[in-house]
Amino acid sequence: AAQAYRALEARDYALAADQAGQAVAVSPTNRDYQLLLLDAQLGAGRLADAEQTATAALALDPGDAAGLAQRGAIRKRLGNDAGATEDLNAALAAGQLGPAAEVGALADLGRLSEARSRFAQLQADGRWRDASDLDQAYLAARIGHDEAAREAFARADAAGKLPDGALQDSAYTSLRAGKDSEAVSYFKRTIDAADSLKLRLEPQMVFDTRRAVADISREGGVIASLTYRGGGGVVSGFGASRELIGNKTAQVGVEAYWRPFGYRNGRYVELFARGFETLYSQAGGATGGDSLQTALGIRWKPFSAQNAVLSLSRVFSKGAADDWLAQAAYSLDVGTDLRADVNNWWTTRVAAEVGHYTENPQTYGLASVQVGKSYRLAGEGRTVAFPHAVVAAEYNSLLPTDKLSVGAGPGVSVRHWFREDRYAAPRSYVDFSLEYRFRLSGDDRARGLFITSLISY
């Protein structure tokens, strides 16, 4: 048991669980040993084993409210909602829970408003004086009180009592509280701790931390694209040509954007200026400077966890009347970033966009699904090939017939990532994509060769 306690202090949870298990085997009725084993198993992430140990400990003291609350929390994490609810309600009914356990039980039952009220009441009564800043931080985060959690993490840090294992939690709490620079600082310290072997992190988790630094610290950027399409004159992100230009087109577009208020936990606002023009029109429409469209606008990403974007811009066209363009877009990317743990992985890209010109009415829409496998190429591992299958649709209200056209086919893209440093994952990439689509419905703009080269800086 003594060796288990030492291993637990050193955060060697696997060794602690092994040693505590041996102690329990020798003295199965020793409840302290059961609780020691439980702490070690929780630290090691062995939730199923921890539930069994909690049950064994409760068999020695069935009325233990703290034990019921702890098993209830474990069962909730395991997805056993019915068992969790039974345990947590029994723990609260016993009326013997400490302040932290009581608030935590209310939170696990989904009674967040009660949990927050109780948290505030206990704070006002000075009942938290005996709880460590770290415990207060985690409890506040558990009930969604991010500012209180951020302040408690900061107090623990100032007192030199913030362990390396809590740095990432501190970072995400600061991020949710809207403190971007503070979050980046915690993330950088996480990377330092991992590099110095003070913190055990898998390579992919280190990369994800570097990706967080890159995303949060971004203040703006530039996107440029050159496309040749079997499709019509609609360019994702840029809008639609204001005249019919045929089923084969080549177009170029450039956009610069700025985030005036920072990352805001993924709910950022961007101001942008962009322009695009047609280089080639099969139908003999305007090209070059005569086809130039420029725009100034603002867009908003309202949700942290969903990549949905709303935008409004004023469009200036040389060959048509100026207009307002309202756009809405959504994308879901799975496996589109680099990976540090494997050389190939499944990738899915789903994107949809709709735009409407308000003064000279025109509505367009784009949607596509790409599914395939990404392969990291030789060298520095920053170049990825993505052979895939694609289904894509385009809608253009200007067309007299076949306003909607759908195509599908094979494709391949190659993306090279660059502009990284010790703390930040690659911030920029160059992407070249080649697809051939067969028409499924609509006119011939759904079929043919689709070539896109894009740089995101």
Contacts (Cβ under 8 Å, ≥6 apart) of 428: 221, 417, 418, 419, 455, 456, 457
- Which residue, 93, 147, 95, is CA-closest to 120? 147
d(CA 80, CA 198): 35
If asked whether residues 190 and 254 sit together in one domain, one would say: no
Segments forming the whole domain that contains residue 231: 221-456
Among 18-22, 229-233, 260-264, 313-317, which stretch is predicted with the lowest mean pLDDT? 229-233
Q: Does residue 250 sit in the same domain as residue 354?
A: yes
Q: How far is CA 318 from the centre of its chain?
A: 40
Domain contains 6? no
Q: Does residue 181 sit in the same domain as residue 230? A: no
Where are any strands of DSSP class E within 53-205? none
Structural domain contains residue 18: no
- Which DSSP state fits 218? -
CA angle 449, 363, 281 (to 5 degrees): 35
The verdict on 156 and 303 lying in the same domain is no
DSSP H or E segment with residue 163: none
CA atoms of 74 and 88, how far apart (whole Å): 11
Question: 208, 204, 206: which is closest to 216 by C-alpha?
Answer: 208
Looking at the structure, do residues 197 and 229 belong to the same domain, yes or no? no
Residues 142 and 290 in one domain: no
Residue 132 backbone dihedrals phi, psi, to 5 degrees:
-70, 155
Q: Tell me the pairing of strands 362-376 and 383-396.
A: antiparallel
- Reference 140, options 129, 130, 151; nearest CA is 151
Q: Which helix or strand (DSSP H or E) is residue 335 part of?
A: none
Question: Considering the domain boundaries, does residue 369 fall inside one?
Answer: yes
Strand ranges inside 212-343, DSSP E: 220-229, 234-235, 239-240, 249-258, 269-281, 293-300, 307-317, 323-334
Whether 345 and 445 map to the same domain: the answer is yes
* Statement: residue 2 has pLDDT above 90: no
Q: How far apart are CA 415 and CA 432, in angstroms?
A: 6
- Condensed to tens digits (0 to 9), the pLDDT of residues 45-101 reads 899 999 999 999 999 888 899 899 999 999 999 999 999 999 999 999 988 888 888
Judge whether 256 and 456 are in contact, CB under 8 Å.
Answer: no
The pLDDT tens digits of the residues spanning 368-385 come to: 999 999 999 977 789 999
For residues 281-302, give the mean pLDDT.
85
Give the angle subtended at the CA of 241 by the CAs of 236 and 243, to the nearest 5°: 155
Element (H, E) at 85: helix 81-94
Residue of 215, 214, 212, 249 lying closest to 230 (CA atoms): 249
Confirm whether 350 is domain-assigned: yes
In degrees and rounded to multiples of 5, residue 138 shows phi and psi of -65, -35
Q: How confident is the model at residue 411 (pLDDT cuts 50, 70, 90)?
A: very high
**In a domain? residue 65:** no
Same domain, yes or no, for 188 and 240? no
Number of domains present in the structure of the chain: 2
Would you say residue 362 lies in a domain?
A: yes
> Does the residue 207 lie in any domain?
no
State the CATH number of the domain containing residue 334: 2.40.128
Q: What is the CATH number of the domain that holds 172?
A: 1.25.40
Return the number of other C-beta atoms located less than 10 Å from residue 78's C-beta: 14
Q: Are residues 373 and 272 in the same domain?
A: yes
Q: Do 244 and 170 share a domain, yes or no?
A: no
pLDDT at 232 over 70: no
pLDDT tens string 165-185: 899 999 999 999 999 999 999
Averaged over 156-162, what is the pLDDT?
95
For residues 428 and 352, state if they share a domain.
yes
Specify the DSSP element, H or E, that contains 215.
Answer: helix 203-217
CA–CA–CA angle 301, 304, 305 (5° rounding) = 115
Q: Is the pLDDT of residue 230 over 70?
A: no
Both tokens assigned to 315: 């469009």
Do 173 and 254 belong to one domain?
no
